[in-house]
């Protein structure tokens, strides 16, 4: 048995980059709860996230600096979630600089992971690689992805780069995440927006949910499920013939159905159709055309996830 396979079987260390964010922090907690020794990095952790990850080894620094500080980690796997999702205008960058930031973060982490002997590497991509014209009823791993703009282009390029970095002993996978919701979703400098679902929660709390595209259909995944899915995939990694995998609940709800579900937790909330704006074009919901350990995964139904969300918000 090789040195790397012995290390993978015994140590089971996992590095999660971008763990100060909404998604990365939950992935890290899911792995830790499953018994992995998790190390997390981010350029900055806010106080709430630092407290939630207090039992984990944290390195708070720009990613190249953090990786240099972890030169003796020798992880079993790396989950790369570090990314700049704020648009170029919000970040004060040109389109070219925005693309470079995200691609540089990925390529540097891939190189570091391979040099450390990691056997598995996840790149957290997004169904943001798709445009409204892609797919019909669903977008799957087989659907052409034509999303443009700096963020979508960097994710599309990242999927190609991640696949190209794979070699014997170093398996890579791009995980496309769709619409997510969970307790700790707040704006951050690198992600200054919240999901449409959380926008509806805020609007319902203020009294009125306004809809511009009531028939738009989206899939919604309860964020803790992504951590459980990452554990399942680490335990049963897809073959090299699966370079990209859609990861999330594929049950789609219209925005109107979602608004009704959210409003049910606010007795005085109303739903209004906002005629001031033309309905925005939205991409098709996520589906999957690839067989994997996620094919029979028990995704949390949206109604239950919403109940858990409001229960946890009340207890916080």
Digit-coded pLDDT (tens) for 139-176: 999 999 999 999 999 999 999 999 999 999 999 999 99
Q: How many CB atoms are closer than 10 A to CB 79?
A: 32
Contact partners, residue 73, CB within 8 Å, separation at least 6: 13, 15, 39, 116
- The 3-state DSSP class for residue 80 equals strand
Architecture of domain 3-182+221-249 in this structure:
3-Layer(aba) Sandwich (3.40)
Domain boundaries, the chain: 3-182+221-249
pLDDT score for 236: 95
Digit-coded pLDDT (tens) for 272-306: 987 665 555 678 999 999 999 999 999 999 999 99
Tell me the whole-structure pTM to 2 decimals.
0.92
Specify whether the backbone of 62 is left (phi greater than 0), alpha (psi in -120 to 50) or beta: beta
Q: What is the DSSP string of 207-227?
A: TEEEES-TT-EEE-EETHHHH
């Amino acid at each position: 048995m090789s040195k790397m396979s012995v290390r993978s079987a015994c140590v089971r260390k996992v590095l999660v980059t971008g763990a100060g964010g909404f998604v990365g922090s939950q992935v890290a907690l899911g792995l830790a709860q499953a018994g992995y020794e998790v190390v997390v990095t981010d350029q900055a952790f806010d106080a709430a996230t630092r407290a939630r990850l207090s039992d984990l080894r944290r390195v708070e620094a720009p990613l190249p600096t953090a990786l240099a500080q972890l030169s003796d980690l020798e992880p079993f796997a790396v989950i790369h979630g570090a990314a700049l999702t704020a648009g170029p205008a919000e970040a004060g960058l040109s389109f070219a600089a925005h693309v470079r930031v995200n691609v540089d973060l990925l390529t540097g982490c891939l190189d570091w992971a391979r040099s450390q002997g990691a056997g598995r590497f996840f790149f957290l991509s997004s169904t943001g690689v798709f445009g409204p014209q892609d797919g019909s009823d669903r977008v799957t791993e087989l659907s052409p992805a034509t999303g443009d703009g700096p963020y979508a282009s960097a994710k599309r390029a990242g999927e190609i780069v991640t696949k190209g970095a794979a070699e014997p002993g170093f398996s890579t996978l791009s995980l496309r995440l769709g619409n997510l919701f969970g307790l700790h979703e707040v704006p951050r400098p690198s992600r200054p927006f919240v999901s449409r679902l959380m926008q509806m929660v805020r609007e319902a709390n203020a009294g009125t949910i306004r809809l511009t595209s009531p028939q738009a259909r989206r899939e919604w995944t309860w964020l803790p499920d992504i951590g459980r899915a990452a554990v399942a995939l680490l335990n049963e990694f897809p073959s090299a013939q699966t370079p990209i995998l859609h990861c999330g609940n594929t049950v789609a709800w219209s925005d109107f159905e979602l608004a009704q579900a959210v409003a049910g937790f606010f007795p005085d909330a109303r739903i209004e159709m906002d005629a001031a704006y033309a309905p925005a074009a939205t991409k098709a919901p996520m589906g999957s055309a690839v067989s994997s350990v996620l094919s029979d995964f028990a995704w949390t139904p949206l109604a239950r996830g919403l109940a858990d969300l409001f229960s946890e918000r009340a207890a916080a």
